């Protein structure tokens, strides 16, 4: 048995939650290894509809263990609410949810700073989710973070908070914000911590001692939001790639055998930054409405565009995809023509994604191939043979352009609406 990593291949919201929920039935352990509650993974199954932000989307397999590993950063209130939501839906979590004490905590000043930096940047803002993600990771790498482990000794937590507030309150004041009161923060956060404490335990053995079982590593966001390889500075703060899973989950690289890229059948993006195949016409509006493209975390309208094979080819290479899962095929059901971007040109020359910085990427011209649509419903189809001929052609075109086999095709938001291609 070996571990599988699942990665979002575009700018997030590819439908990872749906695919993870489906795959969790065949998994023993599901691990979140990076990011925070900037992620919003929608799961729709027999328990109901859930927007998962921190707890792995695989939590719904009652036999599996769910792990929030060290690479993840945690908003205690969001986590508490998510635990409450699952309990209310009668999803058992006791004895199945494990949270690493190494996880850094998103503190109130991180959320404030996220907003203040965005405001200061004005029209050049990143368009963050406002969840304090960048400032929390910045504190992590500059040795100023507060981890769950720190809360176990009240004195340690108190002292660390005091040090941080000494600095953060000066910054907050300079940016026109009221300083935070130490006692208030300490009490509120300690209270939240106590609710989560029973789940916190070093998770290294949970993963390492079970390497003979089926482990599913749940990626968040998408490749082009990666801090190194995304469209910097319009990215997120963590390493999104399959390589990040080894450090973020504490798993040796040789144990990762399968890498699944989740790929939306078209492209979407939330927040600022370049998007070569973005549509500003009626087709874009149709994708938004048919795909219900509004953010799971912030409710913002997602920008929509055609499928971009240049991006997915790069994602496949850098992550080492062994297979891809196509989602939201049904959203394309009503188009008479569908375009696929085969590559880019810049000033008349063919260019590749990896050679471009964000400013250049915003200027490239997509080179399109036009395919015929299928103009019939694929919603809920579960067998490849039942797909319309032109939908099969579209999938084969993607496979040919990307050079990786398609193993799953999602035809609706529900767990059961999926085609397995063997």
C-alpha distance from residue 391 to each of 146, 268, 328, 367 (Å): 50, 20, 12, 21
Q: Are strands 418-420 and 406-410 parallel, antiparallel or unpaired?
A: antiparallel
User: Residue 271 binds which one of ligand IMO, ligand GDP, Mg ion, none, with CB within 5 to 8 A depending on kind?
Assistant: ligand IMO
Active-site pick, 13, 21, 114, 150: 13
Q: Which is nearer to ligand GDP, 40 or 134 (CB)?
A: 40
**Does residue 16 belong to the site contacting ligand GDP (CB under 6 A)?**
yes
Q: Are strands 303-305 and 267-269 parallel, antiparallel or unpaired?
A: antiparallel
Q: Which is nearer to ligand GDP, 15 or 135 (CB)?
A: 15
Q: Is 104 known to be catalytic? A: no
CA 251/CA 274 separation, integer angstroms: 33
Q: Look up residue 94 and give its two tokens.
A: 């006791």
Per rule CB under 6 A, count of chain residues that contact ligand IMO: 24
CA 47/CA 414 separation, integer angstroms: 11
CA 108/CA 131 separation, integer angstroms: 10
Residues between 6 and 45 with contacts to Mg ion, criterion CB under 5 A? 13, 40
**Full DSSP string of 44-78:** EETTEEEEESSS-GGGG-TTSEEEE-TTBEE-HHH
CA 147/CA 116 separation, integer angstroms: 23
CA 404/CA 219 separation, integer angstroms: 19
Q: Is 13 known to be catalytic? A: yes
User: Residue 412 binds which one of ligand GDP, Mg ion, ligand IMO, none, with CB within 5 to 8 A depending on kind?
Assistant: ligand GDP
The contact mask relative to ligand IMO for 351-390 (x = CB under 6 A, - = no) is ----------------------------------------
Per rule CB under 6 A, count of chain residues that contact ligand GDP: 22
**Does residue 72 belong to the site contacting ligand GDP (CB under 6 A)?**
no
Q: Which is nearer to ligand IMO, 133 or 309 (CB)?
A: 133
C-alpha distance from residue 3 to each of 102, 242, 253, 341, 360 (Å): 22, 11, 9, 32, 37
> Which residues are bridge partners to 346 per DSSP?
349
Query: Could you tell me if 270 and 295 are in contact, meaning their C-beta atoms sit under 8 angstroms apart?
Result: yes
C-alpha distance from residue 128 to each of 54, 88, 134, 226, 298 (Å): 17, 30, 9, 14, 10
Active-site pick, 34, 41, 53, 110: 41
CA 324/CA 147 separation, integer angstroms: 35
Residues between 79 and 138 with contacts to ligand IMO, criterion CB under 6 A? 126-129, 131, 133-134
Q: Which is nearer to Mg ion, 220 or 340 (CB)?
A: 220
**Does residue 330 belong to the site contacting ligand GDP (CB under 6 A)?**
yes
**Does residue 70 belong to the site contacting ligand GDP (CB under 6 A)?**
no
The contact mask relative to ligand IMO for 21-60 (x = CB under 6 A, - = no) is -----------------xxxx-------------------
Among 3, 7, 13, 61, binds ligand IMO (CB under 6 A): 13
CA 70/CA 248 separation, integer angstroms: 6
For the bound state, the minimum distance from the C-beta of residue 37 to Mg ion, rounded and expressed in Å, comes to 11
The contact mask relative to ligand IMO for 210-249 (x = CB under 6 A, - = no) is ----------xxx--x----------xx------------
Give me the residues that bind ligand IMO (CB under 6 A), please.
8, 11-13, 38-41, 126-129, 131, 133-134, 220-222, 225, 236-237, 270-271, 296
Contacts with Mg ion by CB under 5 A lie at 13, 40, 296
Binding site for ligand GDP (CB under 6 A): 8, 12-18, 40-42, 44, 292, 296, 327-328, 330-331, 410-413
Active-site annotation, residues: 13, 41
């Amino acid at each position: 048995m070996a571990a599988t990593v699942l990665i979002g291949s575009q700018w997030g919201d590819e439908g990872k939650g749906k695919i993870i929920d489906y795959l969790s039935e065949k998994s023993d352990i599901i691990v979140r290894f990076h990011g925070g509650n900037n992620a919003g993974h929608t799961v729709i199954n027999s328990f109901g509809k859930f927007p998962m932000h921190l707890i792995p989307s695989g939590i719904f397999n009652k036999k599996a263990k769910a792990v929030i590993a060290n690479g993840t950063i945690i908003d205690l209130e969001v986590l508490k609410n998510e635990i409450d939501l699952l309990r209310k839906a009668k999803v058992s979590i006791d004895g199945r949810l494990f949270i690493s004490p190494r996880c850094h905590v998103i503190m109130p000043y991180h959320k404030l700073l996220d907003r203040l930096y965005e405001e200061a940047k004005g029209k050049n803002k990143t368009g963050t989710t406002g969840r304090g993600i960048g400032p929390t990771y910045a504190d992590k790498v500059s040795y100023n973070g507060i981890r769950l482990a720190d809360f176990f000794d009240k004195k340690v937590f108190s002292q660390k908070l005091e040090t941080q507030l000494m600095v953060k309150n000066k910054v907050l004041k300079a940016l026109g914000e009221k300083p935070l009161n130490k006692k208030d923060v300490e009490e509120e956060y300690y209270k939240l911590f106590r609710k989560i404490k029973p789940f916190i335990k070093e998770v290294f053995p949970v993963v390492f001692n079970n390497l003979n079982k089926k482990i599913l590593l749940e990626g968040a966001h998408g490749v082009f939001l990666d801090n190194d390889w995304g469209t910097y500075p319009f990215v997120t703060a963590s390493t999104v790639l399959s390589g990040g899973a080894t450090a973020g989950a504490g798993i040796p690289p040789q144990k990762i055998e399968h890498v699944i890229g989740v790929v939306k059948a078209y492209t979407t993006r939330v927040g600022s930054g370049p998007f070569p195949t973005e549509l500003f016409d009626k087709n874009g509006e149709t994708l938004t409405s048919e795909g219900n493209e509004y953010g799971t975390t912030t409710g913002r309208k997602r920008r929509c565009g055609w499928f971009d094979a240049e991006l997915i080819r790069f994602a496949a290479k850098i992550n080492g995809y062994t297979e891809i899962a196509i989602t939201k095929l049904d959203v394309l059901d009503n188009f008479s023509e569908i375009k696929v971007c085969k590559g880019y040109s810049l000033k008349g020359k063919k260019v590749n994604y990896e050679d471009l910085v964000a400013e250049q990427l915003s200027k490239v011209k997509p080179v399109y191939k036009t395919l015929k649509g299928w103009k019939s419903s694929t919603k809920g189809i579960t067998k490849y043979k039942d797909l319309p001929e032109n939908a099969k052609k579209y999938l084969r075109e993607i496979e040919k352009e990307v050079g990786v086999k398609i193993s799953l095709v999602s035809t609706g938001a529900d767990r059961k609406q999926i085609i397995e291609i063997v």
